[in-house]
Structure 1
Amino acid sequence: MIKRIIGTAICIVMSCALFAQEEEIKFQILNQYEETLNSATLTVGGNTNEHLADDNGYFTIKAQPSDVVVISRSGYSDFSSSIAELKKDQTITLRKDFSWKDLMNPMFYIINGGLWLLLFIVFAETGLFAGFFLPGDSLLFVAGIYSSNLVHEFFKAFGIGHIRNEWIDLLLMTVLISIAGIIGNMVGYWFGRKIGPAMYSWKDRFLFKRKYLNDAHDFYEKHGGGAIIFARFLPIIRTFAPIVAGIVQMDRKKFMFYNIVGCIAWVVSMIFAGHFLQIWVRKQFGFELRDHLEMIVIIIVLVTTFPVAWKLLSGKKKPKKTV
């Protein structure tokens, strides 16, 4: 009987000691695009439960120092971490499985290609037919937020020490991206000039009428400069505007002038908006724009496509009145 009592007491003491060793750990879970995840399945010490983050995006668990935490979420690869790692970093990156939707996420290109992929996308959006689906506006906006990191890649590639100064970073970003955009437009224009003369001899078809070329030629003669500038701010249209300008044989010098003006205006507005709006929102409201990039992308798409939709809807011919 005495041995049994002693054994029970020892078990109780050991249980209390183990319980006393439990620690409360707080940590955040992000994906590779730096988006905060607010729910996940956590396995701690063999016990699996669904957890929700608090209003600040932090998860709270109680665990012993020897426990291993396994983090799971649908559409993501599982991740395991020791308690020591959680206490040290307090941030876990859970890798999201690739989906085609990621191609519309500007952070996909920032993470996987950085500055060099960014420059290629700006070029491809206007230099290649296939570039019309690429997220140019939102990508430049996000590039403004990460301008310092992206410029660091440029200096690193040439073995130059990076002097971190926001104005130098923004100026260099503007120059590099503007050059890529200007060259892209030039390629599109050159391609249009090459195939343009042949198109005037094409027969009318369902998707092609020579009248369209004549109308486009008259439009560019009258509004060519404005068309090239404003096309920069309109998704899809900026891909085909320089090509059409080349097809209708728009004056080369006139095209180049408005090409440069439009590209610089587009790059400066998007890069500077992303950079300084991020700073202003952080100071005024205490949160990071980068944590809400999906909503930002949607807003930018709506804003940039609204003029096109409005023009298409308001430009419909009104039915003629019968006398």
Structure 2
Amino acid sequence: MTGPPYPATQLAVNVLDAHSLLAAFGVLGVGVVMFAETGLLIGFFLPGDSLLFTAGLLCTGTADQGVKLSLGPLLVAAAVGALAGAQCGYLIGRKAGGAVIARSHSRRLREGVQRAEELLKRYGHARAVVLARFVPVVRTVLNPLAGALEVPVRTFTLWQVIGGLVWSVGLTLAGYALGSSIPNVDHYLLPLVALIVAVSLIPLLAEVLRTRRGADAKEGNR
């Protein structure tokens, strides 16, 4: 019996590394990861932001990474995975209540639950669902939490679609735009991914500042 045609090290997939996932599974992998990260609590550790950005970059063909993706199918896979995942997470939370979240022993996941609860309480259902898309871990736990708290289906669906499209399509196109305009951009991939993740937090930070200014203004009028 002959051995595998490739060394075992080449067949290994690092689920925490965006390029490894893309090299192994391509566009299909993007859809699966988006679904798992936004719909299943076990997917909270997956690299959603960096995966979308890197996938968009690899669509340009300018990156010397050995992987070439097609932009159209990628955008569809990213959007469908992100939207279907969030809706699935919501339905799980609605059916199982808070039991699914309560059984988790991950400290990082529990911290994400606390932040998700703060978002829902501070900003209301609509803004919280949109803002959560841009915060790792929080975008995983907020969907089942919204279902457990019985956020209206129509409200959740409308705003998770808006937030999901802005997040998934926006980050993918950001990677594609940079890859198309900057030669050898893949040489700066790690700092660029860090930058994109930081930029993705701007909507949340802006909302926090706006809320604090409003609170300060109310205190000053007393």
| TM-score, normalization by structure 1 | 0.49
Q: 1:297 aligned to 171, 193, 208, which one?
A: 193
User: 2:32 maps to which residue?
Assistant: 120
User: 2:161 maps to which residue?
Assistant: 260
User: 1:150 maps to which residue?
Assistant: 69
User: 1:53 maps to which residue?
Assistant: none
The aligned amino acid for 1:233 is F
- Cα distance, 1:134–1:197 mapped onto 2, change above 3 Å: closer
Using the alignment, how far apart are the partners of 2:28 and 2:119 within structure 1? Answer: 38
User: 1:244 maps to which residue?
Assistant: 145
The answer to which structure, 1 or 2, has the higher relative contact order (CA under 8 A, 6+ apart) is: 2
The aligned amino acid for 1:105 is D
Q: Deviations over 1:13-42 (max 9, x none)?
A: xxxxxxxxxxxxxxxxxxxxxxxxxxxxxx
Using the alignment, how far apart are the partners of 1:188 and 1:236 within structure 2? Answer: 13
Pair 1:193 & 2:89 matched = no
1:113 aligned counterpart, secondary structure: helix
Higher helix share: 2
- Cα distance, 1:117–1:185 mapped onto 2, change above 3 Å: same
- Cα distance, 1:217–1:249 mapped onto 2, change above 3 Å: farther
- Cα distance, 1:299–1:126 mapped onto 2, change above 3 Å: same
* Aligned residues between the structures: 183
The aligned amino acid for 1:132 is F
Question: How big is the shift at 1:278?
Answer: 1.5
Does the aligned pair in 2 maintain the 1:125–1:239 contact within 8 Å? yes
Within-5 A mapping of 1:5-20: none
Pair 1:234 & 2:135 matched = yes
1:258 aligned counterpart, secondary structure: helix
Does the aligned pair in 1 maintain the 2:78–2:169 contact within 8 Å? no
Question: How big is the shift at 1:302?
Answer: 4.2
- Cα distance, 1:224–1:298 mapped onto 2, change above 3 Å: same
Gaps of 5+ in 1: 1-94, 152-168, 283-287, 316-323
Using the alignment, how far apart are the partners of 1:138 and 1:218 within structure 2? Answer: 23
Pair 1:224 & 2:143 matched = no
1:250 aligned counterpart, secondary structure: coil
User: 1:136 maps to which residue?
Assistant: 48
User: 2:83 maps to which residue?
Assistant: 182
2:97 aligned counterpart, secondary structure: helix
Does the aligned pair in 2 maintain the 1:235–1:305 contact within 8 Å? no
The aligned amino acid for 2:69 is L
2:135 aligned counterpart, secondary structure: coil
The aligned amino acid for 1:125 is E
| TM-score, normalization by structure 2 | 0.69
Higher strand share: 1
- Cα distance, 1:143–1:217 mapped onto 2, change above 3 Å: closer
Does the aligned pair in 1 maintain the 2:30–2:77 contact within 8 Å? no
Question: How big is the shift at 1:304?
Answer: 4.3
Aligned CA RMSD, in angstroms, stands at: 3.6
User: 2:174 maps to which residue?
Assistant: 273
Question: How big is the shift at 1:281?
Answer: 1.7
Q: Deviations over 1:102-135 (max 9, x none)?
A: 4432101111111111110000001111111111
- Cα distance, 1:221–1:249 mapped onto 2, change above 3 Å: farther
The aligned amino acid for 1:293 is L
